[in-house]
Amino acid sequence: MKLVFLDRKTLGKDINLDQFYKLADVKIYQTTTAEQTLTRVKDADIVITNKVVIDKQIMEQSNIKLICITATGTDNVDIKYAKEKGIVVKNVAGYSTSSVAQVTIAHVLHFVQKLNSYIKYIEDENWERSDIFTYIDVPFHELKNKKWGIIGLGTIGTKVAQIAESFDCEVNYYSTSGKNNNTKYNRLTLEELMSTSDIITIHSPLTNTTYNMINKTYLNMMKEDAILVNVGRGGIINESDLAKKIDSDKSLYCGLDVLEHEPMKRDNPLNKIRNKDRIIITPHIAWGSVESRNRLIKMVFDNVKEYIV
């Protein structure tokens, strides 16, 4: 069987794909544009994609039998048409829970602990000139007794909730679907959660309901100096409203690992923020620890092997 990787570069150069050669005739492309997709998948039996779109038109003109998505989300594949044509579609789930939770905590601690300020104090050789043993002129706080609000209490949100509890935080949540009734944590309305939380972390999917859900109305409800972190999906926060809020008098701190358009566009309003110490942006890395990516590849390999065997 012929197997094609369309965007191998998204998996990281440190990940080994040799095992796939035992299953099929493998062709690997580092990246694939929309214009290149049909040519590359036309004669393939199995297509492995992360973000490359496989739509109805592509499937109509090819002989694809199995599509493996190297992610949990399936929005880049026309699932309905694939089912109509008898094409099997397999995604992977649960592989990145620990990785995403860890990056969430890292974003929060970045703002809570102020380590950058203290590291700079050392790098500038200020401690060497000090007449006392310590330097605490940049106040930091404990997480203990802080209110931690979680938007989207799925697998990842629950993992973050458990870690937040270990810091002795009070955990509350908002269900974006309205269907989650977890009895361990207190469920709030979005208004209640946004206005009472010291820390808010987003772990929900992007849907018609959640698109631009966190806009100026809800941003203005937040406590001054509260921390907002999005490791869910870009587009949940209105980025223009966020940029204005961060530069306002009663501002917040914000950590983003996802943006509405990725890679980040040069004209993104977040690039023009004056209060740059109040925002950090990482390039969609939360899912991508070494361990997480190796789990992902093993799951994809198992999906391919199960289909072939």
Q: Tell me if residue 83 falls in helix, strand or coil.
A: helix
Relative orientation angle of helices 97-113 and 290-308, to the nearest 10 degrees: 160
What is the 8-class DSSP label of residue 77?
B
Size of the chain, expressed as the number of residues it contains: 309
Among this protein's residues, is 123 annotated catalytic? no
Instruction: Give the whole-angstrom CA distance, residue 241 versus residue 226.
Output: 16
Q: Which of 233, 278, 293, 295 is catalytic?
A: 233
Q: Is the Cβ–Cβ distance between 87 and 67 less than 8 Å? A: yes
Q: Which two tokens mark 269? A: 């309003």
Q: Is 233 a catalytic residue?
A: yes
Distances (CA, A) of 257 to 33, 45, 212, 287: 24, 34, 16, 10
Tally of CA atoms within 13 A in the half-sphere of 180 that contains its CB: 22
Q: Position of tokens 């397999």? A: 90
- Catalytic residue list contains 266: no
Q: Whole-angstrom Cα distance, residue 173 to residue 149?
A: 5
Non-local (6+) Cβ contacts of 166 within 8 A are none
Cβ burial 35-52 (10 Å sphere, 16+ → b, else e):
eebeebbeebbbbbbbbb
Please identify which of the residues 60, 142, 262, 291 carries the catalytic annotation.
262
- Active-site positions read 233, 262, 284
